[in-house]
Chains A and B, each alone.
Chain A
Amino acid sequence: MLSNYRVLDLSDERGILSGKILGDLGADVLAIEPPWGNSARRQGPFYQEIPDPEKSLFWAFFATNKRSVTINLETSKGKKLLCKLIQKSHFLIESFRPGYMNDLGFSYDEVRKINPSIIMVSISAFGQKGPYSKYEATDLTGMALSGMMYLTGDVDRPPVRVSSPQFWSAGGASGAAGAMIANHYRLKTGNGQFVDVSCQQSIARALSHAPQIWDLEKYNMKRQGPYRPVGQVNLRINWECADGYVNFIQPGGHTGGLSMQNLSNWMDEKQMGAEVLRTTRWGEIGFGRLSKELLDKMTPPLEKFFKTMPKSELAQGAIERRILLFPVNDTKDVFNHPQLLARDFFKEVTIDKQTSKLKIPGPFITGTGSPPRSLKRAPTIGEHNLEVYGEIGLTASEINRLAEESVI
Chain B
Amino acid sequence: MTTAFSGVNVLDFCWVAIGPMTTRYLADFGANVIRIESIKRIDTIRTATPLKDNQPGINNSAYFANYNGGKQSMALNMGNPKAREIARELVEWADIVTENFTPGIMERWGLDYQNLKKIKPDIIMFSASMQGRGGPFSNHPGFGPVLTALSSHTNLTGWPDRVPTSPYGAYTDFLLPRLAVAAIGAALDHKQRTGAGTYLDMSQLEGSLYFVADALMNFSGNGKVDVRNGNKHPTFAPHNAYPCKGDDRWCTIVCMDDAQWQSLCNIMDRKDLIKDPLFSDTQSRKVNEEELDRILSKWTSGIDPFHLMDQCQRHGIPAGVVQTCEDLFDDPQLKDRQHFVFLDHKIIGRHAYDGCCFQLSESPASYKPAPLLGEHTSWVCKEILGLNEKEIRDLVEAEVLI
Say whether A and B bind each other: yes
Q: Are A147 and B324 in contact (CB under 8 A)?
A: yes
Does A305 touch B at the CB level, under 8 Å?
A: no
Residue ID in chain A nearest B351 by CB atoms: A215
Question: Is A150 in contact with B162, judged by CB distance below 8 angstroms?
Answer: no
B323, A145: Cβ atoms under 8 Å?
yes
Q: Identify which of A169, A205, A208 contacts B168 (C-beta below 8 A).
A: A208
CB distance A127 to B337 under 8 Å?
A: yes
Q: Are A181 and B4 in contact (CB under 8 A)?
A: yes
Q: Is the CB of A183 within 8 A of B152?
A: no
CB distance A152 to B216 under 8 Å?
A: no
Does the CB pair A160–B165 fall under 8 Å? yes
Q: Most B CB atoms within 10 A — which of A170, A189, A206, A210? A: A206
Distance A141 CA – B321 CA, assembled complex (angstroms):
7
Q: Are A181 and B25 in contact (CB under 8 A)?
A: yes
Residues of A within 8 A of B152 (CB): 163, 329-331, 333-334
Within 8 A of A (CB), among B120-156: 131-132, 134-138, 140-143, 145-146, 149-156
A205-B252 contact, Cβ under 8 Å, with A158-B231, A331-B219: no
Determine which of B137, B174, B214, B250 lies in contact with A144 in the assembled complex, contact meaning CB atoms within 8 Å: B250
The answer to whether B351 and A158 touch across the interface, beta carbons within 8 angstroms, is: no
A185 and B5 alpha carbons, distance in the complex (Å) = 7
Instruction: Give A5-31 interface residues, CB cut-off 8 Å to B.
Output: 17, 21-22, 25-26
Given A181-B360, A335-B219, A369-B197, also A132-B327 (CB < 8 A):
no
Residues of A within 8 A of B228 (CB): 163
User: Is there contact, CB below 8 Å, between B333 and A178?
Assistant: no
B334 touches A201 (CB 8 A): yes
Task: Give chain B's interface residue range (CB within 8 Å of chain A).
Answer: 35 or more
- Nearest-neighbour CB distance to chain A for B197, whole angstroms, equals 7
Query: Quick check: B210 and A177 within 8 Å, CB to CB?
Result: no
Chain B residue at minimal CB-CB distance from A189: B2
Q: At the interface, yes or no: A370 with Cβ under 8 Å from chain B?
A: yes
Q: Is B132's CB under 8 angstroms from A364's CB? A: no
In the complex, whether B317 has a CB less than 8 A from a CB of chain A is yes
A222 surroundings in chain B (CB, below 8 A): 248
* Residue-wise interface mask of A (316-341) relative to B, using a CB-CB cutoff of 8 A (1 in contact, 0 not): 00010010101111111111011110
The answer to the question of B58 belonging to the interface, with a C-beta cut-off of 8 Å to chain A, is: no
Instruction: State whether the Cβ of B286 lies closer than 8 Å to any Cβ in chain A.
Output: no
Residues of B within 8 A of A143 (CB): 252, 320
Q: How far apart sit A366 and B361, CA to CA, in the bound complex (Å)?
A: 31
The 8 closest A-B pairs by CB, nearest first: A180-B185, A208-B169, A141-B320, A342-B135, A369-B198, A206-B174, A151-B168, A130-B336
Task: Find out whether the CB atom of A238 lies under 8 angstroms from the CB atom of B248.
Answer: no
Within 8 A of A (CB), among B175-225: 175-190, 192-193, 196-203, 205-207, 209-222, 224-225
Q: B167 an interface residue at 8 Å Cβ cutoff?
A: yes
Give every chain B residue within 8 A of A359 (Cβ-Cβ). 220
The answer to the question of B78 belonging to the interface, with a C-beta cut-off of 8 Å to chain A, is no
> Could you say which of A45, A149, A202, A343 contacts B217, with CB atoms under 8 Å apart?
A45
Is A118 part of the contact surface with B, judged by Cβ < 8 Å?
Answer: no
Main DSSP-derived SS at the A contact region:
mixed
A62, CB-defined interface residue at 8 Å: yes
Closest chain B CB from A352 CB (angstroms)? 11
Complex contact A44–B358 (CB within 8 A): no
Give B235-255 interface residues, CB cut-off 8 Å to A: 239-243, 248, 250-254
Is there contact, CB below 8 Å, between B357 and A140? no
Which of A279-338 touch B at CB < 8 Å?
319, 322, 324, 326-335, 337-338
Q: How far is the CB of B379 from chain A (nearest CB, A)?
A: 25
**Does any Cβ of A come within 8 Å of B400's Cβ?**
no
- The contact sample of 19 A-B pairs, CB cut-off 8 A, is A17-B210, A57-B214, A132-B333, A136-B319, A144-B251, A152-B165, A152-B168, A160-B231, A164-B215, A177-B178, A182-B362, A204-B339, A211-B340, A215-B50, A215-B340, A216-B50, A238-B165, A327-B150, A342-B134
Q: Mark B317-345, 1 if CB is under 8 A from A, else 0.
A: 11111111111110111101101100000
- Given A61-B213, A205-B174, A45:B218 Cβ within 8 A: yes
A40 vs B104: C-alpha distance when bound (angstroms): 42
Contact: B159 with A154, CB < 8 Å? yes
Residue from the list B50, B145, B153, B187 in contact with A163, Cβ < 8 A: B153
Partner of A334, one of B192, B216, B317, B336: B216
Contact A209 B48, beta carbon cutoff 8 Å:
yes
Contact B216 A201 (CB under 8 A): no
Does B165 contact A153, Cβ atoms closer than 8 Å?
Answer: yes
On whether the beta carbons of A154 and B162 are closer than 8 Å, the reply is yes
Q: B50 near A209 (CB under 8 angstroms)?
A: yes
Check if A106 is an interface residue, CB within 8 A of chain B: no
> Whole-angstrom distance between the alpha carbons of A366 and B203 in the complex?
8
Residue of A nearest to B191 (CB): A369
B167 and A162 form a contact (CB under 8 A): yes
Q: Mark A368-392, 1 if CB is under 8 A from B, else 0.
A: 1110000000000000000000000
By a CB distance below 8 angstroms, the chain B residues around A144 are 241, 250-252, 320-323
